[in-house]
Amino acid sequence: MSASIPLRAPRRLSRREAWLAGGAVLLLLLGILAPAFAEPGAGNPPLSDFRSLLGLPNAVDVLSNLPFLIVGFLGLRRLHRLERRHEHPGHLPGYAHDELPGSALDSAWLFFAGLVLVSAASAFYHLQPDDVLRLAGDRAAMVVAFAGVMGLAVSERVSPRFGFPAACVTFAAGLLAVGVFHETGNVTPWAVVQFGGMALVLWMATLRPVRTGMRPLNLKLGWIIAAYAVAKVLEVADAPIYEWTQHLVSGHSLKHVAAALAALPVLHSVRQMDERTLMHNSRAAAVTV
């Protein structure tokens, strides 16, 4: 007769986890039940700067996506260095492998990979911005980065166990919203994912980081939200900014730069964690300097 194995009862939801789950369900219902709206100007975006450079159409709008590529590459490089130093915990005195915030770092990988995808997809879209299929591809790439932000925020402010699952749910909901927009022209689900998701991040920015046995990322969510808000304002003021700058740069091009700056707090957090690792591993520091 085999001995019975005791099963551990699942941990009850914390108050923050319950609020997050409730907010997610509310957004899901809103995306499904809210009236359908067509996006104004879809397929004919109100972009102002159509100048070409060396045969490259819409050159400034295309090239202004380079900051996404730069920050994404730097973030992926930092994450690779950080995790490589923790492949052999015994070589890292004072800094155990299990102290790394695994769920947050998984979300960080997703976020920075999303930025690289955004740089490519957005540049491709702006080469021909009246193509609805290219617009859908641009937004699908944005979903990857936004899912990473959601996972990071949840991991640090709500619960590590909810972090990467929250990123996966955001990713799935975002792709579904993009698909609905492309097939039907209904932009409501996309608006719910974008603005409802940022509302959840704003709520989490008001919370203190949860206490765990892992090293915190100390992510500045307020800076991310502020940069995102500036980017949206610049997008709306595309034409006025183009006129005010005497056709030097449009608001839409500046929007790309501002949105890329929203990634700097994440890059800073990963960099700080990398530097703290070096402080506990003088041999690794000597090799990398």
What does the H/E/C string look like for 197-215?
HHHHHHHHHCCCCCCCCCC
Query: Cα separation of 99 and 86, whole Å?
Result: 10
d(CA 200, CA 158): 11
Tens digits of residue pLDDT in 252-282: 999 999 999 999 999 998 888 766 543 333 3
- The mean pLDDT value of the chain amounts to 84
Check whether 99 has a pLDDT greater than 70: no
Position with higher pLDDT, 121 vs 12? 121
Strand partners, 53: 56
CA–CA dist 58, 52 (Å, integer) = 5
- Residue 241, classed as helix, strand or coil, is helix
- The structural domains of the chain, ordered by start, are 57-288 (1.20.1070.10)
Closest CA to 21 of 187, 158, 116, 118: 158
pLDDT at residue 90 is higher than 50? no
- Summarised one tens digit per residue, pLDDT across range 146-161 is 999 999 999 999 988 8
Conformation bin of residue 58: beta by default, left when phi > 0, alpha when psi is -120 to 50: left
> Residue 190 pLDDT more than 90?
yes
CA atoms of 144 and 175, how far apart (whole Å):
9
pTM beyond 0.95, yes or no: no
